[in-house]
Amino acid sequence: MSGRKFLAVACAALFVLTAAAPASAQKKKQKQQEQPTTGNIVGRVKVAPGSTPGGVAVTVRRGDEEVARHETNQKGEFEFEGLAPGTYGLTLRKVGLEVGRMEGVEVRAGRTVSLKDRLYLPVDDGAIAHIRGSVFDAGGHSVGGAKVELSRVEADGSVKKLDDRVSNSTGSFAFRLSPEHGRYRLTAKADGAEAVSEEVNVDGAAIYRVALSFRPRK
């Protein structure tokens, strides 16, 4: 190979190397830039029977500073995205339920923290609705041992069972509910009698009374 040709080949190789170096550096830089820098928190809130898990206000805090706030959907689910890595606290609030708090939630870049089985809000005894009632037979006598079912009547007319009780020796029973507005149906069942139902409209923290009287069998 002549000196002139060798010089040309060497120059070409040097050009390829110098051109490849910036391209490689650029790819490496792009790869570094694509690395996730934030994390997420997802969860599901469970509530006491008679309450609905939707509409719970969930606040994410970093120290005393509020970072973000969302409300749970009808299933009690929530999600926070794009949180900077660090340690957070959560506060959960809904009228009629106790305030819930969770501290020490560690968020890491590129990771999602799941709290789906760790959040439960019981009824706040100081701000609840009480449904109290009694079960009677056709003659007006108290009926003990009757099964009383509590159901919520949804806006579309469908009925969802929430809880049940057995009337005591004096025929009495009681349920505790969130004070949010709602229509409820109570159904009493006992051997030898046809089931009987009554509806109660709850609208605030108060005591709501109902009498369930079995009718004579035809």
Domain assignment of residue 103, yes or no: yes
What is the pLDDT at residue 114?
A: 97
DSSP lists the bridge partners of residue 210 as: 133
Q: Does 29 have pLDDT greater than 70? A: no
What is the pTM for the complete model shown?
A: 0.54
Asked whether residue 16 is assigned to any structural domain, the reply reads: no
Q: Which residues contact 177 (CB under 8 A, 6 or more apart)?
A: 50, 51, 96, 123, 128, 129, 130, 131, 184, 202
Q: Does some domain include residue 8?
A: no
* Domain ranges, residue 83: 39-121
For the record, the structure tokens of 205 come out as 């923290």
Q: What would the pLDDT profile of 59-80 be if each residue is shown by its tens digit?
A: 999 988 999 999 999 999 999 9
Alpha helices in 62-218 (DSSP H): none
Residue 142 CB-density burial (10 A; 0-12 exposed, 13-18 middle, 19+ buried): middle
Percent of residues, the chain, with pLDDT higher than 70? 84
Domain count, the chain: 2
The CATH number linked to 97 is 2.60.40.10
Report for 29-43, 113-127, 156-170, 204-218: range of highest mean pLDDT? 156-170
pLDDT band at 96 (very low <50, low <70, confident <90, very high): confident
pLDDT of residue 32: 57
* CATH number of the structural domain spanning residue 136: 2.60.40.1120
